[in-house]
């Protein structure tokens, strides 16, 4: 038994010694982008700008860590953006409701509710996909509409603002720093580290990849596909909740337009990071790099002067494709 | 003298109402077809339409205002069919999702003898409408620009956030550019932020990183202004004198009422225009107050003095 568990570990260490170009791809793309950015506008590398941009990418990075599990297990989740908005709404409403009784304690209590709501939402997605045997694309397209409608209903189409008394106390979760590093960056690093540990070092992580690589083979080896994929969706839900917890203090409100199209950014980050969209292989740290790359591109568009405001989206598309090509040829 | 006039008017109106009651035994039906609430401004539309319906139904027993919201143009077409299928509509107040898709269906309703009031977005064929009521997007930009030209002494650096590529957005930007023309105000940068607070927050952070000296910011919508204000607050930059929005969101109007230094004014493109349109339509129906034509609501600068008129604390927007 002990031999069996040390064996893969040793193999991975061997892989680390032989420089792994495929895994390094997203980081190379990131470096190239930073260099180009510096040439275009030296302000790009200023500490304030970089810390702003990386902090901003934290939501997508945290959600994308969860998506790495879902995608590598052979699933897909289109509902994450709507789910983030829905959980944000629930969190704010619960916090506001608890303020008169428990004061500032409603912040941690609200966070706990957010995580529970996230796990519940993920479980719903997971069960529909696995037990209900509905294509992940369709199942999560359905829940995407449901979550979006719920947040619209809860807010009457307007805004759900957080209670004024909580606003200042909660602010540091997005705007605060520890040792000079913004808190959302630290949170996303912690989530990624935990995700990497689960995906690379635990039995569940290997089952996840096996279920995504070849469902039949995995099933014959005694892996429960239903259990493995459902857990992946639950992890996704928990990640969305953590992102929502970091998101609330930024603008202090949930609206029906919160998190619109985040699902596409999340999937793009995962794929830029080197995870195969058809499943079987997940790269957590690549995913985080992918999320930062996406946000850097948007930032670069504003800081450079030679792209017309009408063409920004086209140039972003070209850069994403080039980033993928750099990866492909660095293999 | 004025008191006398009021008394006469009230008496006349009362007589008319009584006459109306006597003639029409059955109720006059006014259908209101509007987009469903999917963001701040449309949520305001729904709120004001429902408020108008409630007030009118309570005040005039012989009028029934029915409000129907639709999430898409296709759904709105179906809603029109449903509304006009069962009974004769005396009037229809409609804020169309899109001009193209709604033109023919509204024409069909009109052919049944219904009075048509179109709000905000015009139909492709203006001959269909009996009354058209809208705000003035060019004035939204222009009046904001004039305020800045005046307050900044005709000189300074501006950054602008625009919404989604649409006629509304183009008109506001055009009005703004016209408004600063001839002054030494310079637009350093102008980018799309999709009328979204989060996108506006990011864009403002980037503007702040890019430009060391910004005198004023204009976000052509209040949702975006919320993101802008948060980004400015985080940056601790002190040179920015004004950050202005537009539309008339209650949070921003509240700032104007409270005398906020950075956002002392606001320009309205108020969702309450649907309420104005419903009231006018009903007046025509029961009060014999002829109102055919085009009504353009101005976008006067909202200041501390007149802010109360535009403040709806119970509205979601």
Answer yes or no: do B36 and A157 touch at CB < 8 A: yes
How far is the alpha carbon of A257 from chain B, nearest alpha carbon, in Å? 7
Residues of A in contact with B205 (CB under 8 A): 52, 56
| Residue that has been written with the tokens 């537009």 in this structure | B246
How far is the alpha carbon of A302 from chain B, nearest alpha carbon, in Å? 6
Domain boundaries, chain B: 2-135+271-298, 137-257
Q: Which two tokens stand for residue A271?
A: 């794929």
**Tell me, what's the pLDDT at A19?**
58
**Tell me, what's the pLDDT at B37?**
85
**Tell me, what's the pLDDT at A21?**
63
Four-residue CA torsion sign, B39, B41, B47, B50:
negative
The pLDDT confidence band at residue B288, using thresholds 50, 70 and 90, is confident
For the ranges A47-56, A75-84, A246-255, B162-171, the lowest mean pLDDT is seen at B162-171
The pLDDT confidence band at residue A44, using thresholds 50, 70 and 90, is confident
The pLDDT confidence band at residue B20, using thresholds 50, 70 and 90, is very low
Is the pLDDT reported for residue A74 higher than 80? yes
Q: Tell me the pLDDT tens digit for each residue of B36-84.
A: 888 888 889 999 999 999 999 999 999 999 999 998 889 999 999 888 8
Residues in B 203-222 with any Cβ partner in A closer than 8 A: 203, 205-207, 209-210
Structural domains in chain A plus CATH codes: 20-329 (1.10.3470)
**Tell me, what's the pLDDT at A3?**
40
What is the 8-class DSSP label of residue B35?
E
Residues of A in contact with B227 (CB under 8 A): 251
CATH number for the domain formed by residue range(s) B137-257? 3.40.50.2300
Closest chain B residue to A42, measured at CA: B210
Q: What share of chain B has pLDDT > 90, as a percent?
A: 62
Answer yes or no: do B234 and A175 touch at CB < 8 A: yes
* CB-closest option in A41, A158, A260 to B40: A158
Residues of B in contact with A146 (CB under 8 A): none
Q: Are A299 and B206 in contact (CB under 8 A)?
A: yes
Closest chain B residue to A247, measured at CA: B198
The 3-state DSSP class for residue B29 equals strand
Beta bridge partners of B156: B185
In 3D, which of A267, A136, A285 has the Cα closest to residue A211? Answer: A136
Q: Backbone phi, then psi, for A88, in 5-degree steps?
A: -55, -45
In 3D, which of B6, B28, B5 has the Cα closest to residue B17? Answer: B28
Buried b (16+ CB within 10 A) or exposed e, A14-39: eeeeeeeeebbbbbebbeebbeebee
Q: Are A118 and A57 in contact (CB under 8 A)?
A: no
How far is the alpha carbon of B248 from chain A, nearest alpha carbon, in Å? 13
Question: What is the spatial distance between Cα B299 and Cα B66, in angstroms, rounded to a whole number?
Answer: 29
Q: Tell me the pLDDT tens digit for each residue of A319-328.
A: 888 877 876 7
Question: What is the spatial distance between Cα A221 and Cα B13, in angstroms, rounded to a whole number?
Answer: 85
Answer yes or no: do B39 and A260 touch at CB < 8 A: no
How far is the alpha carbon of A39 from chain B, nearest alpha carbon, in Å? 14
Answer yes or no: do A302 and B191 touch at CB < 8 A: yes
- What is the average per-residue pLDDT within B278-283? 94
**Tell me, what's the pLDDT at A95?**
95
In CATH terms, the superfamily for domain B2-135+271-298 is Response regulator (3.40.50.2300)
The pLDDT confidence band at residue B3, using thresholds 50, 70 and 90, is low
Q: What is the ipTM of this complex?
A: 0.77
Residues of A in contact with B206 (CB under 8 A): 49, 52, 299, 302-303
Fold match, B2-135+271-298 / B137-257: yes
Helix (H) or strand (E) holding B238: none
Of B159, B205, B258, which to mutate for an interface test with A (greatest number of A Cβ within 10 Å)? Answer: B205
- What is the average per-residue pLDDT within A113-122? 97
Of B35, B39, B45, which to mutate for an interface test with A (greatest number of A Cβ within 10 Å)? Answer: B39
CA B41 to centroid of chain Cα atoms: 8
Residues of A in contact with B198 (CB under 8 A): 250-251, 258
Helix (H) or strand (E) holding A168: helix A164-170
Q: Are A22 and A331 in contact (CB under 8 A)?
A: yes
* CB-closest option in B191, B226, B234 to A309: B191
Closest chain B residue to A297, measured at CA: B206
Q: Tell me the pLDDT tens digit for each residue of A190-246.
A: 999 999 999 999 999 999 999 999 999 999 999 999 999 999 999 999 999 999 999
Q: Is the pTM of this model over 0.90?
A: no
Q: Which two tokens stand for residue A197?
A: 């540990």
Q: Which two tokens stand for residue A319?
A: 């850069």
């Amino acid at each position: 038994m002990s031999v069996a568990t040390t064996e893969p570990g040793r193999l991975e260490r061997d892989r680390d010694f032989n420089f792994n170009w495929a895994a390094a791809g997203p980081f190379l793309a990131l470096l190239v982008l930073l260099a180009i950015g510096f040439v275009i506008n030296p302000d790009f590398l200023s500490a304030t700008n970089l810390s702003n941009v990386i902090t901003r990418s934290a939501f997508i990075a945290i959600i994308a860590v969860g998506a790495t599990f879902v995608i590598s297990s052979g699933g897909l989740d289109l509902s994450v953006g709507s789910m983030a908005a829905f959980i944000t709404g629930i969190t704010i409403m619960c916090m506001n409701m608890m303020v008169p009784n428990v004061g500032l304690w409603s912040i941690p209590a609200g966070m706990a509710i957010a995580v529970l709501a996230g796990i519940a939402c993920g479980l719903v997605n997971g069960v529909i996909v696995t037990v209900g045997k509905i294509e992940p694309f369709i199942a999560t397209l359905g829940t995407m509409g449901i979550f979006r409608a719920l947040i619209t209903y809860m807010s009457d189409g307007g805004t759900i603002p957080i209670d004024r008394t909580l606003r200042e106390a909660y602010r540091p979760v997005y705007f605060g720093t520890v040792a000079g590093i913004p808190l959302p960056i630290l949170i996303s690093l912690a989530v990624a580290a935990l995700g990497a540990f689960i995906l690379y070092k635990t039995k569940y992580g290997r089952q996840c990849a096996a279920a995504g690589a070849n469902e039949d083979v995995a099933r014959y080896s005694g892996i429960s596909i239903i259990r493995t994929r459902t857990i992946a969706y639950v992890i996704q839900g928990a990640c969305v909740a953590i992102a929502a917890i970091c998101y609330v203090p930024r603008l202090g409100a949930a609206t029906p337009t919160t998190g619109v199209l985040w699902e596409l950014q999340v999937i793009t980050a995962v794929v830029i990071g080197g995870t195969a969209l058809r499943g079987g292989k997940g790269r957590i740290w690549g995913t985080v790099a992918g999320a930062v790359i996406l946000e850097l591109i948007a930032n670069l568009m504003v800081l450079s002067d030679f792209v017309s405001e009408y063409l920004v989206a086209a140039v972003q598309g070209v850069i994403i494709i080039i980033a993928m090509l750099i990866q492909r040829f660095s293999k | 003298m004025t008191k006398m006039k009021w008394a006469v008017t009230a008496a006349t109106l009362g007589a008319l109402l009584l006459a109306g009651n006597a003639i029409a035994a059955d109720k006059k039906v006014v259908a209101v077809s509007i987009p469903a609430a999917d963001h701040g401004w449309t949520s305001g539309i729904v709120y004001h339409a429902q408020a108008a319906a409630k007030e009118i139904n309570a005040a005039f027993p012989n009028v029934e205002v029915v409000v129907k919201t639709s999430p898409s143009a296709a759904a709105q077409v179906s809603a029109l069919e449903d509304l006009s299928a069962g009974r004769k509509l005396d009037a229809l107040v409609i804020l169309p999702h899109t001009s193209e898709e709604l033109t023919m269906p509204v024409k069909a309703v009109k052919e049944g003898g219904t009075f048509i009031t179109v709000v905000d977005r015009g139909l492709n064929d203006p001959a269909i409408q009996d009354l058209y009521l809208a705000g003035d997007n060019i004035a939204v930009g222009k009046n904001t620009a004039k305020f800045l030209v005046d307050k900044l002494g005709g000189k300074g650096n501006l950054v602008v956030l625009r919404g989604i590529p649409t006629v509304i957005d183009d008109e506001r930007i055009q009005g703004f550019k016209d408004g600063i023309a001839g002054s030494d105000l310079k637009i350093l940068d102008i980018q799309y932020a999709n009328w979204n607070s989060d996108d506006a927050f990011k864009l403002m952070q980037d503007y702040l990183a890019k430009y060391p000296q910004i005198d004023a910011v204009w976000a052509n919508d209040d949702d975006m202004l919320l993101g802008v204000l948060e980004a400015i607050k985080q940056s601790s930059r002190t040179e920015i004198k004004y950050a202005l929005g537009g539309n008339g969101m209650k949070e921003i109007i509240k700032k104007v009422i409270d005398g906020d230094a950075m956002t002392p004014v606001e320009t309205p493109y108020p969702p309450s225009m649907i309420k104005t349109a419903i009231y006018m339509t009903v007046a025509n129906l029961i009060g014999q107050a002829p109102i055919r034509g085009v009504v353009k609501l101005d976008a006067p600068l909202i200041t501390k003095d007149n802010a109360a008129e535009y403040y709806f604390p119970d509205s979601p927007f």
